[in-house]
Structure 1
Amino acid sequence: MKIEKIEYLRNQKQGIIDDLRVCISYTPNRDNDLLCFMEQYLKADIKKRSSLLKEIKKCINGEEYENPFLNYYYYNEKDIEELDLILDNFIDNIKDLNNSNNSLDIEIEVIIIETICKINELHDKCLGELIDSWRDERLTDLIDIACKDRGYENAIDIIKGKKLW
Structure 2
Amino acid sequence: MGVRRSRAILIGGVACCYALFYLYAIGDLDLGPAGWGWSSLPWQWQRLLTQRSPWHFEAVASLELGYLVLLLSPLNLLLAALLGLLLAGNLHGALVLRQRRTCATGADVAWSAGLWPALLAGGACCAPSLLLLLGIPGLGAFIGLFAWLLPLSLALLLGSRLWQRRRGAPALFGPL
Bin of the TM-score, shorter chain as denominator length: 0.3 to 0.5
Higher helix content, 1 or 2: 1
Higher strand content, 1 or 2: 2
TM-score by length of 1: 0.37
TM-score by length of 2: 0.36
User: Highest Rg: 1 or 2?
Assistant: 1
